[in-house]
Amino acid sequence: DTYEILSWDTQPGDMVAFHLAIIHYAAGNMSDRRRRAISLRYAGDGATYAVRRVGPKLPADPGLAAGEPIGRSPLFPRVWPV
């Protein structure tokens, strides 16, 4: 009762965009088809690498120390030039 919970009916091909810090959830796949999803994260030019003890792990070591600009690693490609 403390929070307003929002939800939308989505269909294949729909996209939902939100801030990474927003708590989000997807119900289980109740269909007979495989569920596929993609997650993209965008960061500004001043973004730096932070080592996290909890949460999702990167698929590979980015070769960065904490505080280094993420643009120095091929794991964080530039989408468009500035």
- pLDDT lower than 50: segments of the chain: none
What single-letter DSSP state applies at residue 75?
T
pLDDT at 6: 85
pTM (whole model) above 0.75: no
pLDDT at 24: 80
Nearest CA-CA partner of 62 in 53, 80, 72, 47 = 72
pLDDT at 66: 92
Q: For 69, phi and psi rounded to 5 degrees?
A: -60, 135
Given a contact cutoff of 8 angstroms between Cβ atoms, the answer to whether 47 and 69 are in contact is yes
